[in-house]
Structure 1
Amino acid sequence: MEIYGSSSSIQAYDTNRLIISDIPRLLIINRPVEFTIDLSKAGKGQLEGSIPKQVKPLGNSKFHFTFIPLLNESHMISIKFNGHQVSGFPRQCQIITSDNVKIRGPSLNPILVGTQTWFTIDILHNDLSDLHVTIFTPTNEQLNPSTLLTSDGLRVDWTPSEIGTYIIHLILYGYSIPGSPFSVKSYDPKKILIIPPINDSTIGEPVKFLLDQPHVAYVHITINGIQIPLVAIRRHDDTFLLKFRPILAGDYLIILKDYIGQLIPGCPYNFPVYNPNGTHIEPFNRLQSINDCHFICNIDNVGQGKFFVMIYDPLKPIRIPCQIQNLSKNRIRISFLPSKIGTYKIYIAYRNIPINGKCIYLLCK
């Protein structure tokens, strides 16, 4: 039956036709969370929410929402349309902080190239089955490590194949967790090379040498059990300039260890330092019997090196044979048998440096 003089209108809506973009289940304190809601197919009505938020109209009944979690506690997100709860809400989202994430294992330290390594990840109050791990090599190639859920968390096994820095990404519910990505280094001790100085090294003068491999954890220099202060300067090409000032002549030991405390192959390196002013001729009589011509040279604390003696005939440029006798560790006796009476010219050198700075003369009669 038709009733005249009366009319009315009814607004229809459907909460199931709201389109809400993905809201992460995992929230990070102070990190903005953004999502959109599209009401264009749901009809007219009032939209309500349970969290403080900023709303930006996008037009055509679409809105952009932003909120920032500030408390370390679960957040219950409720969205209502015309007083009715939207399907899938309320939804509980967990807060994750760096304190909730525990990463352990040998992979956190520099790793030997070609050696299988591992680490575990545990996130408090979170399901790790959706945690995805991706590793990028120093040349930006992607590695897909093997993973296994254990009582200690998600175990990740992988093997570095080249020297350099690896970047590890940890993604949970499509978002990076706190501390991700992080980096680890890989090294190869067989490729470490020490480049010594070209010239001889002497006490009191700075000694410089290059280390062409930056992935060395431990370097020190000793002589006679004494550790020498060392300065390491990293250069732009990732080599290191190492400097020290020797205090004694002798053989210095350069000791290199990797990150697990093992000696680098070839260590310790032997590095000689000498004292050119440490050699001298002990006082002697410059007038000696032709039957017993000798003198003594002292080489105390001068370092390793070759000892040279050249004795010349008084009249001709002919070398006279001589005998060199070790009296003790640091004293050498030089003797010769003159063929005639006269003044003999004698050159003595240690490591090609003349002792006393010039030749000496010995009169034999």
Structure 2
Amino acid sequence: MTESYEDAHTGHVTFSGLNEPCSVGSIVEVVINAQSDRTTSGDVGVKAISPTGISYTCDVVRRANSYTATFTPMEVGEWRIGIFYENDHIRGSPFSCHVYDPNLVNIYGLDVGLVGQELKFTVDTSRAGRGPIQVTVMRHGRQIPCDIYEDGKGSGRFQVVFTPDGAGQYKIHISFNNNEIKGSPFILDIADASSVSVYGDNLRMAAVDRLATFMIHALGAESKDVTVIIT
């Protein structure tokens, strides 16, 4: 928990800081402690400064032994919250407020997979702000183990790796700062390569400049799930 700050001039007005990051578009509530009857509603002021330097003056409401101010951040990044008593910053001001946007998380490589073969995809949070990701892979109500690695500390790009243990539909839940991202859960159909067979005379011999054909039998698969490479 963030420590409360005091000094000789503003010791009766304190703020403990924001312990959790905030999402874009949310209402951020700033609760300031007033430890003396000497303060009045006109003594305390609050400003929220965006990452691009835009300053917003917040309305301040006195409630018993505290003041409350709110603002709605619309930019990703580190906001600064200035808290003033008699036009002076209280100790510790300005305070940090990290803002994120789960809608800016991108997923790459989550297309197709095969039973028993390691599957890897990317979760890119580099434009979405700071914060941890949570990934849960489910099949038939059972959780499948997965590993998460960051591509360089602070890059915001994460590799998720898991190995499908059976054919069928998998649900992949992805959250950022405990908020499920847009599109989650993602549905992934896993095929069993051992059930795929290929047959046809042209697999053994074909004539130059003549159309050659062969058949692929893949039960439950669609054409987009099959890749053919001829060398």
Same-fold status (TM-score > 0.5)? yes
User: 1:239 aligned to 127, 146, 156, which one?
Assistant: 156
Cα displacement string for residues 248-275 of structure 1 (whole angstroms, at most 9, x for unaligned residues): 254543312354x543221012345566
Is 1:182 paired with 2:100? no
Displacement of 1:137 in angstroms is 0.2
Distance in 2, matches of 1:206 and 1:239, equals 20
Cα displacement string for residues 74-118 of structure 1 (whole angstroms, at most 9, x for unaligned residues): xxxxxxxxxxxxxxxxxxx56839xx73548xx753333233332
- The change in CA–CA distance for 1:155 and 1:234 in structure 2 (over 3 A counts) is farther
- The change in CA–CA distance for 1:208 and 1:257 in structure 2 (over 3 A counts) is closer
Task: Assess if the C-alpha contact under 8 Å between 2:119 and 2:164 holds in 1.
Answer: no
Secondary structure at 2:172 match in 1? strand
Cα displacement string for residues 187-235 of structure 1 (whole angstroms, at most 9, x for unaligned residues): 3333221122689677454624132334565411313222424324164
Residue in 2 aligned with 1:312? 201
User: 1:109 aligned to 7, 20, 25, which one?
Assistant: 20
Distance in 2, matches of 1:244 and 1:319, equals 36
- The change in CA–CA distance for 1:173 and 1:316 in structure 2 (over 3 A counts) is closer
Q: TM-score, normalised by structure 2?
A: 0.67
Displacement of 1:236 in angstroms is 6.9
User: 2:60 aligned to 132, 147, 153, which one?
Assistant: 147
Q: How does 1:1-365 map to 2 (within 5 A)?
A: 28=7, 96=11, 101-103=14-16, 109-125=20-36, 127=39, 129=41, 130-196=43-109, 203=116, 205=118, 207-212=120-125, 213-215=128-130, 217-224=132-139, 225-233=142-150, 235=152, 238-246=155-163, 248-250=165-167, 251-259=169-177, 261-271=178-188, 276=193, 279=194, 299=195, 307=196, 309-312=198-201, 351-352=226-227
Structure number with larger C-alpha Rg: 1
Unaligned runs of 5+ in 1: 1-25, 29-92, 280-298, 300-306, 330-349, 355-365
Query: Which amino acid counterpart does residue 160 of structure 2 have in structure 1?
Result: K
Distance in 1, matches of 2:105 and 2:16, equals 30
Task: Assess if the C-alpha contact under 8 Å between 1:117 and 1:159 holds in 2.
Answer: yes
Query: Which amino acid counterpart does residue 222 of structure 1 have in structure 2?
Result: V
Query: Which amino acid counterpart does residue 77 of structure 2 have in structure 1?
Result: G
**Alignment RMSD (CA, Å):** 4.2
Displacement of 1:166 in angstroms is 0.8
How many residues matched? 209
- The change in CA–CA distance for 1:164 and 1:27 in structure 2 (over 3 A counts) is closer
Displacement of 1:144 in angstroms is 1.0
Task: Assess if the C-alpha contact under 8 Å between 1:121 and 1:154 holds in 2.
Answer: yes
Displacement of 1:238 in angstroms is 4.3
Distance in 1, matches of 2:132 and 2:69, equals 25
- The change in CA–CA distance for 1:171 and 1:325 in structure 2 (over 3 A counts) is closer
Percent sequence identity over aligned pairs: 15
Deviates more, 1:188-197 or 1:139-148: 188-197
- The change in CA–CA distance for 1:319 and 1:162 in structure 2 (over 3 A counts) is closer
Distance in 1, matches of 2:51 and 2:214, equals 66
Secondary structure at 1:144 match in 2? strand
Unaligned runs of 5+ in 2: 207-211
Task: Assess if the C-alpha contact under 8 Å between 1:201 and 1:207 holds in 2.
Answer: no
Task: Assess if the C-alpha contact under 8 Å between 1:120 and 1:153 holds in 2.
Answer: yes
- The change in CA–CA distance for 1:316 and 1:178 in structure 2 (over 3 A counts) is closer
Distance in 2, matches of 1:265 and 1:184, equals 23
Distance in 1, matches of 2:130 and 2:64, equals 33
Displacement of 1:180 in angstroms is 2.4
